[in-house]
Chain A
Amino acid sequence: MIEFTFWDILRNLLLATRWTIVLSLIAFVGGATVGLLLTFMRLSSNRWLQRLTSLYVDLFQGTPLLMQLFLIFFGAAAMGHPISAWLAASIALTLFTSAFLCDIWRGCLEAVAKGQWHAARVLGMNYFQTMRHVILPQALRLSIPPTVGFSVQVIKGTALASIIGFVELTKAGTMLNNATFEPFTIFALVALLYFALCYPLSCYARYLEKKLYDAGLR
């Protein structure tokens, strides 16, 4: 039997952390892209697009991420197109992230004071001019702190991908535990590594929020 030293454990966990980071980035970039599309669908004047978007958001916010993962991973296999844990996790996290970001961003757009629309309209601007020059720049600033804050949820959400066999930080911890039977050491390290990823982001979100407050935008 192979002996694992503390440094072996830490090294293996750190290597697995790479995949947590990569999966988080995929989920975030994919989620932001789809989420942006959804935000504009929800803002459109088309009733059907609005309803469809609301349904999508409610569906993904109202079911556990784990079920979404299962449905995509096992669903694809059941339909005769088995997909890798990689792909399933990327798709599920992208859909999940997009639903939340859509909701966050819509809130930010609506948080821009109504008087801004009136002022722009009285100055002769049409809908797109108002959006582009007045509403979007303000909503964008408002959206940065909650968006960065939500990215913490995405990072922690990637842990669920371990259940369908994707080897990221949590899965690596489980595997190392099976080999070494040192659960406390290992999962303490796993938790610390997640914390090391998430804490700076939380601090950054708080800093951005304070900056926004100081700028008098809230």
Chain B
Amino acid sequence: MTLVYVDNVHKAFGDLEVLKGINLSVAQGEVVAIIGRSGSGKSTLLRCLNQLEKHDSGEITIADKQLDAASMSPKELSENVGMVFQSFNLFPHKTVGENVCLAPLVVRGEEKAEVEKVAREVLEKVGLSDKYDAYPAQLSGGQQQRVAIARALAMRPKVMLCDEVTSALDPELVGEVLRVLEALAAEGMTLILVTHEMSFARDVADRVVFMHQGRIHEEGAPSELFSNPQTPELKQFISAVL
């Protein structure tokens, strides 16, 4: 079943055309890794999927509902799409538990006891159940990013977007975050990740999408794409990053 459907999406910032007609469909439970150079439009595409950027033309459909500002409120969007950022963006004045509970309480108006139970579950899932009362500043980067993942999970989204979630981390902290994502993928969560972790893309993704100059240049199963790139641009990119 197709969960995310992107049809001929264009996006420009002033004269700079960042997305030049993107077509992509992601099935439920699929893990899609988007790779490419900086400036190729991969982060913009991700941000269009949750309307942090409004696309200029084309269609984006998530769970059979069309995305545009008029038809989907942030609240409704959050029922479908969760997002984890490169810079974590935890709320520094709230504890880990409060970070996770805030949106379910405020946006959904759910029962406090129930929300706290869910918060403990998702924190358990990312291996941080003992940090419930800690503040973000007391955690390492890897732990903060895992809290951010737990916070997104607490809203029970249908698809999770991950925007270079390990790029701000020290190398020794990357593994713990990737393991959490791997576990999510194994549980059947639909993931769309923009990533520079090629080995992760190769091992965990069902499909790798290579973006180049605002277009999807090449896509396919990671085993094929990495071992047998069809275009010179992808060949060059792979030899540069591997």
Q: Residues of A with Cβ closer than 8 Å to B?
A: 113, 115-116, 118-126, 129, 133-134, 137-138, 141, 215-217
Query: In the assembled complex, which residues on chain A have CB atoms less than 8 Å from the CB atom of B39?
Result: none
Selected interface stretch from B17-25, B87-95, B230-238: B87-95
Contact A116 to B107, CB < 8 A, known contacts A122-B82, A123-B151: no
A162 and B146 CA atoms in complex are apart in Å by 60
- Fill in one digit per residue for B77-90: 1 if any A CB lies within 8 Å of its CB, else 0: 11101110101011
Cβ contacts under 8 Å, B78 to chain A:
122-124
| Chain B residues within an 8 Å CB radius of A134 | 91, 102
Asked whether A119 and B89 contact (CB < 8 A) given A124-B78, A124-B79, A215-B137, the answer is yes
DSSP majority for the A interface?
A: helix
Across the two chains, which residue of chain B brings its CB closest to A214?
B137
Q: Given contacts A115-B87, A141-B93, are A121 and B79 in contact (CB under 8 A)? A: no
The verdict on B174 contacting chain A, using a C-beta distance below 8 Å, is no
Q: Is the CB of B102 within 8 A of A123?
A: yes
Query: Residue B195 at the A interface, CB < 8 A?
Result: no
Contact of A129 among B77, B83, B107 (CB under 8 A): B107
B50 touches A122 (CB 8 A): yes
Chain B residue contacts of A138, Cβ below 8 A: 91-93
Who on chain B is nearest to A217 by CB?
B92
Interface size class of B (residues with CB under 8 A): 20 to 34
The closest CB in chain A to the CB of B108 belongs to: A124
A118 to B136, CA, bound (A): 17
Interface contact B93-A125, CB-CB below 8 Å:
no
Mark interface residues in B138-176 (1 if CB within 8 Å of A CB, else 0). 000000000010011001000000000000000000000
In the complex the two chains form, what is the Cα distance from A141 to B82 in whole Å? Answer: 29
Contacts from B to A (Cβ < 8 Å): 50, 52, 73-79, 81-83, 85, 87, 89-93, 102-103, 106-108, 135-137, 148, 151-152, 155
Closest Cβ of chain A to B239, distance in Å, is 34
Partner of A124, one of B91, B137, B155: B155
> A118-B85, A216-B137 are known contacts. Are A123 and B103 too (CB-CB below 8 A)?
yes
- Shortest Cβ distance from residue B112 to the other chain A in the assembled complex, whole angstroms: 15
Shortest beta-carbon distance, B140 to chain A, in Å?
Answer: 13
Known contacts A118-B52, A215-B137; A124 and B89 CB within 8 A of each other: no
Q: Report B-chain residues with C-beta under 8 Å of the C-beta of A215.
A: 135, 137
| Distance A113 CA – B102 CA, assembled complex (angstroms) | 18
The answer to whether B52 and A124 touch across the interface, beta carbons within 8 angstroms, is no
Within the complex, what minimum Cβ distance (angstroms) separates A31 from chain B?
26
Given contacts A116-B89, A118-B52, A122-B52, contact A133 B75 (CB under 8 A): no
Interface residue from A121, A216, A217 paired with B52 (Cβ < 8 Å): A121
Known: A119-B85, A122-B50, A129-B107. 7 other contacts (CB 8 A): A116-B91, A118-B85, A119-B148, A122-B74, A133-B102, A215-B135, A217-B137
26 contacts between A and B (CB under 8 A): A115-B85, A116-B89, A118-B52, A118-B85, A119-B85, A119-B91, A120-B103, A122-B152, A123-B78, A123-B152, A123-B155, A124-B75, A124-B76, A124-B78, A124-B108, A125-B74, A125-B103, A125-B106, A125-B107, A126-B75, A129-B106, A137-B93, A138-B92, A216-B92, A216-B135, A217-B92
Chain A nearest CB from B123 CB (Å) reads 16
CA of A118 to CA of B103, assembled, Å? 13
Cα(A216)–Cα(B85), bound, Å: 20
Select the residue from A113, A124, A126, A217 with max chain B CB neighbours within 10 A: A124
Instruction: Specify which chain B residues have a CB less than 8 angstroms from the CB of A217 in the assembled complex.
Output: 92-93, 137
